[in-house]
Amino acid sequence: MFRPGMFRSLPFSCILLSIVHRINTSFMLFKFYQHWRSSYAGIPRAIWFLSIVSLVNRCGSMVIAFITIYLTQHLHFSIQDAGYIMGFFGAGAFVGAFAGGRLTDRIGYYSVQLWSLVLNGVMLLILMLVRDFWAMSGAIFLLSMISEVFRPANSVAIARHSTAETRTRSISLYRMSVNLGWTVAPVFGGLLVALGWDWLFWVDGLTCIFAALMLRRLMSPKKASIAATQASGDAKTGSAALSPYRDRSFLWFVFLTMLNAIVFMQILWTVPVFWKEDFHWSEAHIGLVTALNGLIVFLVEMPLIHRLDGRRPQLDYVRIGLILYALSYLAFNMPIGHASAALVFVIAISFGEMFVMPFSSNFVFGRSAGVRQGQYMALYTMAYSVANILAPLFGTQIIAAMGYTSLWYMLALLAGVTWIGFWILGRDRKAGNPTGTTREMSAEAVPQAIS
């Protein structure tokens, strides 16, 4: 801030340089704001509505952010038992994703989303009463299954209401709402834990039900029915009637997605416990640091995607994200102090997420269409569901056997192996379409079937 007399003792050149520097900084901020604002232009209104519903829902996603700490610190389960329970979470997600795809193709994405939100809220209220290991495993299975039914239906809704030109940005807008909610949820959740764990479950459950009411208000069944009818008409002339379970390239992509999800999901299952046990941070502190991930993605992803979309094949960006995943976990083994290691981790994994997830999702949207679109989305979601089974088991068992240091090295190695797999898949796709851009390659014709 300028103060009277502050420049009297300075040479004129220094004063001029200071003014020019301030003008340049203001101009750069203005240019960034313009680019940030233009990245939202042209996105359909329905995508905004879906994103608002998701924002409200994710603002209440506090139980999952603290579930491992809840199991180990409040209910006093061992780290191995917590890993087994979270394996049931992954199994429920797998069943839910499969059922969600089938239900979406059969009864439509609107009804599936609505009832998933309502029942998920009810299940969260029931979960806070459970104490026994097997009862907790069953309750976590049901909670995950009901919650995961939502995802294929939601993906189809985004695909039905966006165009090829706006699809990646539509995905990013939706993800931005998710990450904004994820920014709020752990901070608010950490404060609620200080009041008592029951508060966490009540607020999370009621927020899910409120999100269902918002979906009912913003997106009427009539609008959803019109979109589904238009998609059904397009499907009659479409080429993607092939089952995703016979699409070889897509199956390979799904397998690699599962591996990269195992790496990424340690941010949920093992990193918070590591911060608690090794850094001795409080739940509120952990919530604030975790929220930084959502804040970075919220601020950066949309302008980043707007700048990158269409310039390179989607899988190239996915490979960049995997490199950042590896670097994020290796930061914990660097001699740079707790706060610095956590900061490097959050920044690297946030940018890795921004490269991996929007372009992976758009790859799936471009490869699927018509009457089997829900099944394509379900299979993609099931990759994350399987990862939800394997990630907590993989992480917790390595911690129990060899410690956190070995886990971080193994996660970096797994990210490297996955990078090689995506490189092979991208090389094969380029061989089949050597001049294809991102949009051309995403609008692929008939997928190659398994004979």
Name the token pair of 51.
């994103």
pLDDT tens digit sequence for 385-397: 788 778 888 888 8
- Output the pLDDT for position 373: 66
- What's the CATH number for 45-442? 1.20.1250.20
Distances (CA, A) of 148 to 41, 96, 237: 30, 5, 30
- Output the pLDDT for position 91: 82
pLDDT tens digit sequence for 358-367: 888 878 877 7
In the chain, the amino acid numbered 425 is L
Residue 204: which pLDDT band, with cuts at 50, 70 and 90?
confident
| Nearest-angstrom CA–CA distance, 277 and 446 | 51
pLDDT tens digit sequence for 116-151: 889 988 988 998 888 888 998 899 899 888 888 887
pTM score: 0.69
Q: Assess whether pLDDT exceeds 50 at residue 442.
A: no
Half-sphere exposure for 350 (CA within 13 Å, toward CB): 25
| Nearest-angstrom CA–CA distance, 411 and 327 | 10
In the chain, the amino acid numbered 302 is M
Percent of the chain with pLDDT over 90: 15
Pick 445 or 230 by higher pLDDT: 230
Residue 229: which pLDDT band, with cuts at 50, 70 and 90?
very low
- Output the pLDDT for position 235: 44
- Output the pLDDT for position 262: 94
Residues ≥6 apart with Cβ < 8 Å to 130: 136, 139
Residue 450: which pLDDT band, with cuts at 50, 70 and 90?
very low
| Nearest-angstrom CA–CA distance, 384 and 258 | 6
Name the token pair of 304.
């980043």
Name the token pair of 174.
């939706």
- Average pLDDT of the residues of the chain: 78
3-state DSSP assignment of residue 334: coil
Residue 347: which pLDDT band, with cuts at 50, 70 and 90?
very high
Name the token pair of 121.
């809220």
Q: Assess whether pLDDT exceeds 50 at residue 26.
A: yes
Over residues 236-257, the mean pLDDT reads: 73
- Tally the residues of the chain: 451
Residue 444: which pLDDT band, with cuts at 50, 70 and 90?
very low
| Nearest-angstrom CA–CA distance, 283 and 275 | 9
Q: Assess whether pLDDT exceeds 50 at residue 89.
A: yes
Lowest mean pLDDT among 43-47, 230-234, 351-355: 230-234
